[in-house]
Amino acid sequence: MNTTTTLKALFMAAVLGTSPVQAGDFLFQWDNDKIADTDRHYTNGMRIGYVPHKPWQALTWATNTMVDLFGHGSFTADNITHRADGWVMGQDMYTPSDVLTRSPDPNDRPYAGWSYVGITALAQTDDGLLAMDQQDTVEMDFGIVGPESRAGETQNWFHRQINVAESNGWDSQIGTEPGILLTRTLKLRTKTKPLWESSSLGFDAIPHVTGQLGNIKIGASGGLTARFGQNLNQDFGPIYGTFALPNRAPQKFAWAIYSGAELRGVVRDLFLDGNTFKDSPDVEHNPFVLEARTGVMAHLPIGEDWGLKGARLDLSHVVRTREFKTQDKSDRYGSLKLTLNF
């Protein structure tokens, strides 16, 4: 059984025997650069997130341990209004610009794949820093980099389905290495400024900071997102990078148009710098990367009679500046996120 099949089996086992009404919130995320008419670098990412309404004991123990070690602050405050524990699984893939040659350019981004599972904990409060609404999220991912991630097989299978040429250089990908990645994101949300008194339409702003630590990535980032829409106080807007969780079921119909940017400081990125303890393909990373994201979101409440409390669709376009010294131009990709609330 390959790694991708194993991850699917773990997902099915986690929800097997759970009725839809009691299941919780699910996220399906798909990032792909073909949507933006490119095929290079961060070329595809898929992620499934699951937050059960009533976490089982093993999950609660794991997330509480993670919070005790890395989640002081929001998670230990007395004024928490919402706490959610869940888990994720995903696969990311990276390729050079020329995927037809079997001997990739050593000055271009190396082939790399990363398949992982992780646990997450989220806490929200209406009275956070600077008296703003606050969301704090911690995630710990465990996985594998290299041929065992099966990223190459996944990409070429998909290319065959859409009648696109296969990538021929996966034999030269970054080598096998177990991976661990700790990510913590703190988001603040201004109070919505309505267009007129008692209006559900308005504006808000969401500043955020993120830190990452592990052999997969080491770095920190900060950014700001501006939104216009309806019932904005029901969520905390988009997530930058590939770090996303399902949203809670909405009480009212919500939609938003948003735009924002994040500046990332990079200390280490295994997918650029190569394996930690052995030689592998690598390029010199840029210490700072800017990412801009623009998109639309709609979250629709659905009646209990349908067995589905809500459905949320988020579509965004991402532009990312050059991530390594010899990169010739910036990258772009599209991102789709679908949340189903049972």
* Structure confidence by residue, pLDDT tens digits, 278-321: 999 999 999 999 999 999 999 999 987 778 999 999 999 999 99
Q: Give the pLDDT score at 2.
A: 52
Q: What is the mean pLDDT of residues 128-148?
A: 95
Whether 271 maps to a domain, the answer reads yes
Do 289 and 245 meet the contact criterion of CB atoms below 8 Å apart?
no
- Tallying the residues shown for the chain, one arrives at 342
Q: Give the pLDDT score at 307.
A: 82
- Give just the sign of the alpha carbon dihedral 63, 68, 264, 262: positive
Do 300 and 310 meet the contact criterion of CB atoms below 8 Å apart?
yes
Indicate whether 39 pLDDT > 90.
no
Indicate whether 184 pLDDT > 90.
yes
DSSP 69-87: HH-TTGGG-TT--EEEEEE
Whether 269 maps to a domain, the answer reads yes
Whether 32 maps to a domain, the answer reads yes
What is the per-residue pLDDT across 100-110, written as a single tens digit (0 to 9) for each? Answer: 999 999 999 99
Whether 174 maps to a domain, the answer reads yes
Q: Which two tokens stand for residue 237?
A: 């807007």
* b/e map 152-164, b = 16+ CB within 10 Å: bebbbebbeeeee
Instruction: Please give the Cα distance from 308 to 328 (Å, whole number).
Output: 46
What is the per-residue pLDDT across 214-247, written as a single tens digit (0 to 9) for each? Answer: 999 999 999 999 999 999 999 999 988 777 889 9
Q: Give the pLDDT score at 118.
A: 97
Q: What is the mean pLDDT of residues 173-193?
A: 97
Residue with tokens 């898929």: 46
Indicate whether 13 pLDDT > 60.
no
Mean pLDDT of the chain: 91
The identity of residue 184, as a single letter, is R
Cα–Cα nearest to 288, from 267, 266, 262: 266
Instruction: Please give the Cα distance from 139 to 302 (Å, whole number).
Output: 29
Give the phi and the psi of residue 23 in degrees, each rounded to 5: -65, -50
Instruction: Please give the Cα distance from 93 to 213 (Å, whole number).
Output: 20
Domain with residue 106: its CATH number is 2.40.128.140
Whether 19 maps to a domain, the answer reads no
> How sure is the predictor about 14, in pLDDT bands with cuts at 50, 70 and 90?
very low
Contacts of 227 (CB under 8 A, 6+ apart): 203, 204, 205, 206, 237, 256, 257, 258
Q: 191 is in which domain, residue-wise?
A: 3-12+25-341
Residue with tokens 């929200």: 124
Which ranges of 133-224 would DSSP assign to H, the alpha helix? 151-161
Indicate whether 125 pLDDT > 50.
yes
Whether 95 maps to a domain, the answer reads yes
Whether 273 maps to a domain, the answer reads yes
Instruction: Please give the Cα distance from 248 to 240 (Å, whole number).
Output: 19
Number of domains present in the structure of the chain: 1
Residue with tokens 């609660």: 60
> How sure is the predictor about 12, in pLDDT bands with cuts at 50, 70 and 90?
very low
Whether 20 maps to a domain, the answer reads no
